[in-house]
Every structure is written in structure tokens, then in C-alpha cells.
Amino acid sequence: MTDTLRAIYIIWYRDILRFRRDRARLVASLAQPLLYLVIFGTGLSSALRGASAGIGGAQAAGAPGGLTYTQFIFPGIIGMSVLFSAIFGAMSIVWDREFGFLKEVLVAPIDRSAVAIGKALGGATQAMIQGLVLLILAPLIGIDLSIGMILTLIPLTFVLAFALSSLGVAIASRMKSMQGFQMVMTFLMMPMFFLSGALFPLQGLPAWMDVLTRLDPAAYGMDPLRRVVLSTSLPTEIVDRMGIQLFGSVLPVPAEAAILLGFGALMLMVAIRNFRVVA
């Protein structure tokens, strides 16, 4: 047991060390969220404000409670950074396989579960850091964050990162080439992101789309982030009304976190099984 824990720590630490040394990766990973927030958020906010003025002054920018659209999507942009970073963090598994390092790890006298767990925790830690870094932009768009809110966001962000990182590790453990992994991940990530509620509320959707959003694991991570980040900008009843509803009632944040943890644990078990049968 001690050897397994040590192996998990070493694999986790190796990924964190590579992440810390690769500053260009951190900068590049922030570029896409900033692009969505500044250009997509500002552009759509202006367009929707103009459209609402044309129909008699409806709510500005289509956001609940008088928020600007940029403020509304800010928690979703944090979730987007976590989503992309967590899943693509598993690319290091395919990279290590192509260059032979993974084979050396798998023949080492340790339980192969340590590889899956270490990689999942390493990817989750990196994704959590990259998501939380975006909180420095909150004052610039008019969102007030307290120390208590930040402390609440840390575990919620990690839970989302863990679930998505475990998904990435489960898929990467079966992939043989970098090109194949990138193709699968791109095909998987974009629907997960757009159906998560990062860019629009999940209420009032067509029935078929409503079902898909409930099946999207990322939605159960985006919603708690939004409810915490916007808790000082909107009344509690409006924030709760934006939450995911199942069987006619809004899911509480702990229930959404539990769903994510269950999904992450399931994906991690799949990853462990894949590593144990891989040659």
C-alpha cells in the first residue's frame, strides 16, 4: 500500500513539475477562455442588448436578473478552462506511450492503478489551477468575490476537474496515437461544453436538448460554479432558479458535486482496468 501511494505521488508530482516548468502552456491555455470572455461575451452582449431594445426593452443581454452577458458566462468560462485543461491533460499518457516512457512505468514493480490515479490527480490539479487563475478577472467585469466564496470554489473546481480528468485518462489509456486522441477529444469536448450551460441558461430548452444537458457531466460542474460566483450579484431565488432541475426540483450543490464524484470514480475505475490489461 505504501509503495502504491508513493508511486501515485511521484506520477502526480511529475505532471505538476512539467506543468510548472511549461509557462508557455499556461499562457496558451488561458488564451481561449479570454477570447470567449472578451470577444464572444462582449459581442453577444451588445447584439442581444440591441435586439432587446428593438422589442421594447427586454432584459439586457438576455441574462437573468439584469446581469450583463459577460458576467453571466464568466463562471462558464472558468468551467471551460477546467474542461479543456483536464481532458487534454491526459494527452501526456499518449505522449509517454509514443516515446516509451509509459512502458517503463508499467513494467515497474508497482500496481498499475497508481498510474491511472496519479495521472487523474495530476490532470485535475493542473486544471483546477488554470480555472482558478481566471478569478483574477472577476473585479474587471463587475463581480465581487469574497474569501469564503473562493474557498468554496476551490473544492468545486477540483471535483469538476477530477471528473473530467478521469474521463480523459480512461480514453487516453486506450489510444495509440496523438492524432487519434486529439480527434476523439475534440469530438467529445465541444458537445460537452456547449450542452453544459456555460453560455446559456438550461431552462426553457427543447425537450431533446434538455435530456442531453442532463446527461452531460460537465453541466453538474458548471452549475455550482455559477451559483457560487453569482451569489453576490443576484438574489438567492434567481440563482437557485438557474440550477439544474431533476424531477421538478432544483438539485442542491452537494448533490451535483456527488454526481460528479461518482462519474469521476466510475471513469477512474475504467482507466485502472484499461491500464491493467494494456500490454
pLDDT in tens, 193-240: 888 888 888 877 888 888 898 899 999 999 999 888 888 777 667 776
Mean pLDDT of 99-118: 80
* 143 three-state secondary structure: coil
Size (the chain), residues: 279
Task: Look at residue 106 in the predicted model and tell me its pLDDT.
Answer: 73
Vertex 255 angle, CA 254 and 257, to 5°: 65
What is the pLDDT, as a whole number, of residue 64?
A: 56
DSSP string covering 212-234: HHHH-TTHHHHHHHHHHHTTTTS
Neighbours of 272 (CB within 10 A): 22
CB 115 within 8 A of CB 161: no
- The one-letter code for the residue type at 156 is L
Q: How far is Cα 108 from Cα 54, in angstroms, rounded to an integer?
A: 67
Enumerate residues 6+ apart whose C-beta is below 8 A from 214: 244, 246
For the record, the C-alpha cell of 118 comes out as 496519479
How far apart CA 97 and CA 71 sit, in angstroms, is 42
Higher-scoring residue by pLDDT: 125, 178: 125
255, 269, 186: which is closest to 221 by C-alpha?
Answer: 255
Is the separation of the CB atoms in 11 and 125 below 8 Å?
no
Confidence of residue 94 (pLDDT cuts 50, 70, 90): confident
Q: CA–CA separation, 60 vs 40, rounded Å?
A: 16
Confidence of residue 59 (pLDDT cuts 50, 70, 90): very low
Residue closest to 154 by CA, chosen among 127, 122, 124, 128: 128
pTM: 0.86
Residue 136, C-alpha cell as written in the block: 483574477
User: In the predicted model, is pLDDT for residue 60 greater than 60?
Assistant: no
